[in-house]
Structure 1
Amino acid sequence: MVIKLYGSPLSTCTRRVALVLKEKDVPYELVAVDLTKNEHKDGAFLANQPFGQVPFIVEEDGFQLFESRAIGRYIALKYAGRGNKIVPDTADLKKTALFEQAASIELTNFDPFASGIAFEKVIKPRKGLGETDSKVVANLLQVLNAKLDAYEIILSKTKYLAGNEITLADLFHLPYGSMLGVMGIDVLLSEKRPNVARWWRDITSRPSWQAVKDGA
């Protein structure tokens, strides 16, 4: 039982899936896709991922799935009895609702701003799409800081975003959150938000993230 993970070792979304696979102790084979050669845009790749994005997975029975968060949910549910528990029991409606709330927070109140900053400062110049727009970065950072003030309120009441047990909602922050630190934007470790900093140190220290932070 080995899942094939098609993606770029350093891509944020590929590492997001690899992180979940490590948490659940599920073996996988990385099938490297060279983004610099636009391999994700050729016909063979598009036949499996019509949006031309990484990653996607293929299981031994031929089942395929793309979108990193969807893959993460699938792996966590399919292998519920393995590795670490990272989603609540589906029978517990309230815990499931809090998890979905936290997952929505990551998707709508964190990712657009963290990934937007990464695009401007790293991806845009690297791909020759123009110079970094410092005004765009400043605006995104201003909004992100305001969002993290709300995170501080949530995390002053519970250890993690969905309660006192870690979930995918926390783990999904790791790829782009870590990119912020690499870019010298240490908003997740600000002394002004001690609970956010405590949470961030906690999730970044997990063995699963340490195993994939430098490559899936």
Structure 2
Amino acid sequence: MSFGTIYSYPNNPRVAKVHAVANLNGLKIEDAPFEFGKTNKTPEFLAKFPLGKAPAFSSADGVNLFESNAIAHYVADSGPLRDQLLGSNAAERAAIQQWVTMAETEVMPPVVTAILPRFGFVPYDQGADDQAASKIERAVDSLERHISSGKTWLAGEKISLADISIAAALVWGFTFAIDAEMRAKYPGVVAWYERVMGTQGVKEAFGETKFVEKRTAPK
């Protein structure tokens, strides 16, 4: 039985994050047919999701949510690995939320700045691109220092929503901006990222891991 349905455009790491959590919790989530700019503008969609944002989620029992972090939290909270994914005490829950917040505020914004011109959505600006790369590296450097202190996972002894959220935010980063030269400086982060993406359930959600060899301006 399906746990719910998610609405979004294809190849969205934020959706893969939700599917990864669902897979780990043994929950099945369906992908609804979706055309950005049309599906999310219909009266039916807006009645459930007033901002018209994607991803959006409807559970089988009628819970409607937008914002991928809220969706991922709900899915994580709804299965047998709840304590592992979200934390079993106040300190663990706060630590996991810390990384989830970092993914959305420190990692994803510069990654989005880097990818938009490469997807053809905005004109390329080298200054903005260099600044985005610098901010991405700042975030990756902080991860390296944390992981190099002996951490296998970001928070706790097993994979959690912290790892999945940060890894999801870095997918486009590794695909387009974090090139071989930068990766060479952060072996701990690369090993951690490959460990997260190789975890059963996560791997099926995200698919093949891709790394850019050299960050170049879009043609």
TM-score (norm 2): 0.82
2:100 pairs with 1:103: yes
User: SS of the counterpart of 1:25?
Assistant: coil
Note if contact 2:86-2:92 (Cα within 8 Å) is conserved in structure 1: no
Shift of 1:19: 1.9
User: SS of the counterpart of 1:192?
Assistant: coil
Structure 1, unpaired ranges of 5+: none
For residues 83 and 186 of structure 1, the distance between their equivalents in structure 2, rounded to whole angstroms, comes to 35
Aligned-residue Cα RMSD (Å) equals: 2.5
Note if contact 2:197-2:206 (Cα within 8 Å) is conserved in structure 1: no
1:179-198 residue pairs with structure 2 within 5 A? 179-183=172-176, 185-186=178-179, 190-198=183-191
User: SS of the counterpart of 1:121?
Assistant: coil
Equivalent of 2:161, from 165, 168, 175? 168
Shift of 1:159: 1.7
Structure 2, unpaired ranges of 5+: 209-219
For residues 85 and 74 of structure 2, the distance between their equivalents in structure 1, rounded to whole angstroms, comes to 11
Note if contact 1:188-1:197 (Cα within 8 Å) is conserved in structure 2: no
User: 1:135 maps to what in 2?
Assistant: 127
User: SS of the counterpart of 1:14?
Assistant: helix
For residues 177 and 17 of structure 1, the distance between their equivalents in structure 2, rounded to whole angstroms, comes to 15
Q: Using the aligned pairs only, state the percent identity.
A: 21
**Code of the aligned partner of 1:119:** L
Change in 2 beyond 3 A, CA 1:106/1:184? closer
For residues 189 and 150 of structure 1, the distance between their equivalents in structure 2, rounded to whole angstroms, comes to 14
User: 1:67 maps to what in 2?
Assistant: 67
Note if contact 1:24-1:84 (Cα within 8 Å) is conserved in structure 2: no
| 1:51-108 Cα shifts (integer Å, max 9, x gaps) | 22212222222221121111111111121x159932211xx22222222222222222
**Code of the aligned partner of 2:34:** V
For residues 12 and 38 of structure 2, the distance between their equivalents in structure 1, rounded to whole angstroms, comes to 14
For residues 139 and 187 of structure 1, the distance between their equivalents in structure 2, rounded to whole angstroms, comes to 18
Shift of 1:189: 7.1
User: 1:22 maps to what in 2?
Assistant: 23
For residues 94 and 159 of structure 2, the distance between their equivalents in structure 1, rounded to whole angstroms, comes to 14
Equivalent of 2:147, from 155, 162, 165? 155
**Code of the aligned partner of 1:62:** G
User: 2:216 maps to what in 1?
Assistant: none
| 1:155-213 Cα shifts (integer Å, max 9, x gaps) | 11222222332211110133342222332533797121121111111111123232222
| 1:25-66 Cα shifts (integer Å, max 9, x gaps) | 10122112112x532233332222222221222222222112
TM-score (norm 1): 0.83
